[in-house]
Amino acid sequence: MIMRKKSKYNVALIGAGAVGIEMLRVLKEHNFPIGILKVLARSSREITVDGSVYQVEAISPQAFDGIDIALFAGTEGEKGAAVTYAPEAVKRGAIVIDNGADFRMEPDVPLVVPEVNPKDAKRAKRGIIANPNCSTIQLVVALAPIHKIYKIKRVIVSTYQAASGAGSKAVDELYNQTRSFLEGREVKPDAFAKRIAFNLFPHIGGFADCDFTSEEWKMVKETHKIMHSEKIAVSATTVRVPVKTGHSESVYIETKKPLDIDEVKKALAASPGIHIIDDVKNCGYPVPSDVEGKDEVFVGRIRKDPYNEKGMWLWVVADNLRKGAATNAVQIAELLIKR
């Protein structure tokens, strides 16, 4: 599906939660050519983001009349909105970019990371493009340059995922539990299965096949779809950590032919959307607190496996609300209007 070239585009943003607010920021920072902007949610209200006031309208099928691009934030308060309203938006002429999980694995809906598979965006025959899971996005951005040169055979990834990946209530729980713990008061989990303050646990999503969680299977299946290869053996352990924003990943990669680590570093450094921080002598490596509010995927600790000439390690960090959600969705929209 190709968008008609225009000087400005009418945009609807569905969801006024954490991801929706980041989408407003990204649209503004990227100077997206907006004609009319509608912010839609379950109920009408007024929100203020970085000093700018936005009127939120109650969502309805008619709200999509005249809209060119509909960005579904997939936030907690809008669950099910994409299933209900995405077909209505398409019917009225909009292209839908959905940040939720509703359409990701449907065969006729492209799953797009612009740095990795931009050509898939024009295959949106249903008028819907899906935004991948946050942990998958930063993983495939780092994998793609290496796969292009060496062909990846196997990936083993352990994630360290921030509380904000579970929504605003989870962030509040992190704050409140931390305060209670430091004050010596009882701490009870609510948004999470376990205590998040001064703790971590390997449980994101529900447990599924082979005792892997749904989040872990997302990383497997979405990586295969984005990279057009089910031959890459992906295995994941996803861990929730007491960090507000920013997912980190320890990634082991095994390729089909021996690796030249200098060539890998050059390929990563030359790839769009990747920022290298790899100066271990001076403690140079990416950490969540340094990447918050940034759009790039940050890579460090790039090193070869001393026991396997085809093996190597990466440390990958990104803001899960930005590149892991809002930024990637806006980049897809930018890709569409460029085409």
Active centre residues (catalytic): 134, 247
CA 320, CA 246: separation in Å to the nearest integer? 5
CA 12, CA 3: separation in Å to the nearest integer? 16
CA 312, CA 250: separation in Å to the nearest integer? 11
CA 322, CA 339: separation in Å to the nearest integer? 23
The total of other beta-carbon atoms located within 10 Å of residue 305's CB is: 15
Q: Which amino acid, 269?
A: A
Classified as helix, coil or strand, 299 is strand
Structure tokens that stand for 258 in this block: 């021996």
CA 191, CA 1: separation in Å to the nearest integer? 39
Q: Using the structure block, give the residue that is written with the tokens 């209505």.
A: 88
Q: Using the structure block, give the residue that is written with the tokens 């930005």.
A: 322
